[in-house]
Amino acid sequence: MKTMFENEVLPDVVMPACPILKILKGQKAIVTGASSGIGKAIAIALGHAGADVVVNYVAGEEAALAVVEEIQRCGSRAYAHKADVSREDEVRDLFERMAGQLGAVDILVNNAGLQQDAPFDEMTLQQWNKVIAVNLTGQFLCAREAVRAFKRQGVRKNVSCAAGKIICISSVHEVIPWAGHVNYAASKGGVMLMMKSIAQEVAPYRIRVNSLAPGAIRTPINMAAWGTPEAYRELLKLIPYKRIGEPEEIGRAAVWLASDDSDYVHGVTLFVDGGMTLYPGFETGG
């Protein structure tokens, strides 16, 4: 199918101005894997919305510090903290320092994730283990620390009607099987039922747990899919809305899911994917 966007020129990403509406004012957030891509956009969006933000990263200190600066520019507190989310001791330190430095934790965005792709019969155990360790075990370790902190502190009535919010960054591949990426799809499928099971268990404590599932977003992780006009044209075949998503669009969805505007939203995955999960192969009939 030919679309009016086929020759679209890819725009530069523009830093948004600081918004006036500080809907997360007073809240303390932690975003894992926040030095680039979707994590960076979410950290900046939460900061712009008034939250103080811990910018977690595992590599790329300079990039993490630039995110911190952008958050501070708009009047929120922020600092960068290096930690590997797949390591229990480092995750514990990450949350302990946050309690000491910011005094509370209200929002966890479980974002850190990676891909190590290979044809299935060539995939090494190391590639399998690494992706599961960061994408799934890392989310478990951070969510567990966050729930412990939320239970200890209870509802902080002056900042939110929930005791805490967890947003797991999943993927369309929590439901779309993905050949050549079996470890990644397995990790995201795992995130889906982990998120729902935690949500069921902690709801009575007024802890909200949800997922955001991005489709194809313009970030370094998938540059091969959008970096050339040919690749981009191919990509559009998978997206009924006929454009790639921008990281800032995930940032805005995260702000809403973290805010009291979504207080009755619990245990669900919000797909932000331009319709990628709508079986685009059926666009022109079955």
- Binding to ligand BGC, residues 146-175 (CB under 6 A): 171-173
Give the strand order in the sheet containing 28-31.
78-82, 52-57, 28-31, 107-110, 164-169, 207-214, 269-272
- Please identify, using beta-carbon distances, which residue of 79 and 241 lies nearer to ligand BGC: 241
Name which of 173, 257, 166, 250 is nearest 206 in CA terms: 166
- Please identify, using beta-carbon distances, which residue of 95 and 184 lies nearer to ligand BGC: 184
Show the site string, 54-93: x = touches ligand BGC by CB under 6 A, - = not.
----------------------------------------
Q: Are 186 and 133 in contact (CB under 8 A)?
A: no
| Residue 12 neighbours by CB under 8 Å, 6+ apart | none
Q: Is 221 in the site for ligand BGC (CB under 6 A)?
A: yes
Query: Whole-number minimum distance, CB 253 to ligand BGC, in Å?
Result: 15
Which H or E run includes 247? Answer: helix 247-258
* DSSP-derived pairing of the beta strands 52-57 and 28-31: parallel
Query: Whole-number minimum distance, CB 176 to ligand BGC, in Å?
Result: 7
Query: Whole-number minimum distance, CB 251 to ligand BGC, in Å?
Result: 16
Query: Whole-number minimum distance, CB 61 to ligand BGC, in Å?
Result: 23
* DSSP-derived pairing of the beta strands 52-57 and 78-82: parallel
Catalytic residue among 184, 232, 241, 264: 184
Q: Is 133 in the site for ligand BGC (CB under 6 A)?
A: no
- Please identify, using beta-carbon distances, which residue of 115 and 127 lies nearer to ligand BGC: 115
Q: Which amino acid is at 256?
A: W
- Binding to ligand BGC, residues 109-128 (CB under 6 A): 115
Q: Is 40 in the site for ligand BGC (CB under 6 A)?
A: no
Among 72, 129, 153, 222, binds ligand BGC (CB under 6 A): 222
| 259 phi/psi in degrees, rounded to 5 | -95, 165
Active site residue 79: no
Among 47, 215, 251, 274, binds ligand BGC (CB under 6 A): 215
Q: Is 7 exposed, middle or buried (0-12, 13-18, 19+ CB in 10 A)?
A: exposed
| 79 phi/psi in degrees, rounded to 5 | -150, 160
Query: Whole-number minimum distance, CB 229 to ligand BGC, in Å?
Result: 17
Q: Is 99 in the site for ligand BGC (CB under 6 A)?
A: no
Active site residues: 184
